[in-house]
Structure 1
Amino acid sequence: MSHTTNQRIVLASRPAAEPTVDNFRLETVPVPELQDGQVLVRHHYLSLDPYMRGRMSESKSYANPQPLGETMIGGTVGEVVATRSPHFAVGDHVVGMGGWQQYAVVDAAQRGLLRKVDTTHVPLSAYLGAVGMPGVTAWYGLTQIIAPKEGETVVVSAASGAVGGAVGQLAKKRGARAVGVAGGADKCRWVVDELGFDACVDYKAHADVRSLSQALKEACPNGIDGYFENVGGMVLDAVMQRANAFSRIAMCGMISGYNGVPIPMSAPQLILINRMKVQGFIVGEHMEHWPAALAELGQAVATGALKYRETVAPDLAAAPEAFLGLLKGKNFGKQLVKLI
């Protein structure tokens, strides 16, 4: 079959506050001719992740803004359908950063842009979630920053998401007590019954910090030793009130503030009182840890020890709507887009 036209979604405009579908544009463009050393990848799945919201704005963030009129950035898995590189053969399954498009031409000589993966025991889509960037994010924040000891209590927000779900399971494996915070009874039930967390608190059932803090007290009778932060805002304030001396917070995301709404902390003095370590991190800056993380995660998924859930949008045109839903917590587990 010929691979001559490519559909892609570009960033059409920057959002003023909350992003809308009008910030995106679907285009049909020709697939360029392959040059020496290049491969053509047909994407099977595209990953949608909260960090993409920061890239849409020009404001200062840890990542450069997404250029206007260019293909939206994003992780992809697919297969090589044409190659002019000795390193890749047609049919190879690969993971990369191909963006919101059906095809990508990749310079195979640039190491790290494309990674061959084995789909014998791990489904291709899992390389965008549990055995990909979200899984490694969970692994790094838990093992390198929180570093739980056996018997300690670890809390994670967005517990049913791709990162949060892995955090709790990895914490349990290390002998810690895992407590989730998630939005809605269904998500909380799944986190406990399927993922094996010890407890999960539904933040939607609590109108204020005091109420949420009380629920955390019941779920964490021995206080909180480690907190993996994905949301900020009220959840962070409630966790801080239950934090033990020498507790550690791994700051991964602050989704409650992604549309520019201020998210002040209600009691930052607790950092001092409890001698807390609060550390932000970007997983791409710690590539030396990826092999160890992926080895543990891949093994766990292959043997069924690490469970995960996916929400799959049906095609490329559905990506913007699915992305906006992700920012509002409408997804359940890892949000993907099926492209094939």
Structure 2
Amino acid sequence: MVTAKAWVLKKHFEGFPKNSDFELKKIELPDLKDGELLLESVFLSVDPYMRPYSQRDMKEGDIMIGTQVARIVESKNPAFKVGAFVVAGSGWRTHSISSGKDLQLLPSSWPESLPRSLALGTVGMPGLTAYFGLLEVCKMKPGDTVLVNAAAGAVGSVVGQLAKIG
């Protein structure tokens, strides 16, 4: 049996969250059933969307929402091998059990020289948002001038780099 640690929402916050808005809890996970796998988080995301979503979609006592890069430490699902890495929407917790349905398997050819945390940023949801926003929604063409009003954020910084390479 595995004991996970999870950050839960202790109380809804206004403005910037404070330590007192969260509580670290231990959760005993059950043994795996057929088709399930045990994930161990390696990187957790902290993203701006969490503030409004936590207000709207979470109850006090829920595990904080978020995406993570996790390593598969045990598997009873033939589609997922132990040692592989996935992107999971498991929230802020050290371990979780998944059926594998909503996981994104990272390529086994992921270069060791690149941190897997990129799967939560440039190569993940913020990068895809930047790419499709700039090229499909804005339809940027070579020679266009691009102004990014939030270029310090995860999406905006990628938009700036994509615009730079044209």
Global fold match (TM > 0.5): yes
Within-5 A mapping of 1:314-325: none
Q: Specify which of 83, 103, 111 is matched with residue 120 of structure 1.
A: 111
Aligned to 2:54: 56
Task: Label 1:84 to 1:133 Cα distance change in 2 as closer, same or farther (>3 A).
Answer: same
Within-5 A mapping of 1:146-157: 146-157=138-149
Within-5 A mapping of 1:230-245: none
Amino acid at match of 1:129: G
Measured in 2, the distance between the counterparts of 1:77 and 1:97 equals 9
- The answer to which structure has the higher helix fraction is 1
1:161 to 2:166 alignment? no
Contact 2:130/2:159 (8 A) holds in 1: yes
Amino acid at match of 1:107: S
Shift of 1:16: 4.1
Q: Specify which of 5, 14, 30 is matched with residue 7 of structure 1.
A: 5
Measured in 2, the distance between the counterparts of 1:89 and 1:129 equals 24
After superposition, the C-alpha distances for 1:280-326 in whole angstroms (9 at most, x for unaligned) are xxxxxxxxxxxxxxxxxxxxxxxxxxxxxxxxxxxxxxxxxxxxxxx
Shift of 1:31: 2.0
Aligned to 2:131: 139
Shift of 1:85: 0.3
Q: Specify which of 71, 74, 82 is matched with residue 82 of structure 1.
A: 74
Shift of 1:18: 4.3
Amino acid at match of 1:6: A
Aligned to 1:71: 63
Measured in 1, the distance between the counterparts of 2:75 and 2:62 equals 24
- Identity over the aligned pairs, expressed in percent? 39
Q: Specify which of 79, 96, 102 is matched with residue 104 of structure 1.
A: 96
Q: Which runs of 5+ in 2 are unaligned?
A: none
Structure showing greater Rg: 1
Measured in 2, the distance between the counterparts of 1:130 and 1:171 equals 14
Q: Specify which of 13, 18, 23 is matched with residue 25 of structure 1.
A: 23
Within-5 A mapping of 1:147-226: 147-174=139-166
Amino acid at match of 2:105: K
Secondary structure of the 1:57 match is: helix
Within-5 A mapping of 1:323-334: none
Measured in 1, the distance between the counterparts of 2:59 and 2:132 equals 29
Amino acid at match of 2:45: S
TM-score, normalised on structure 1? Answer: 0.46
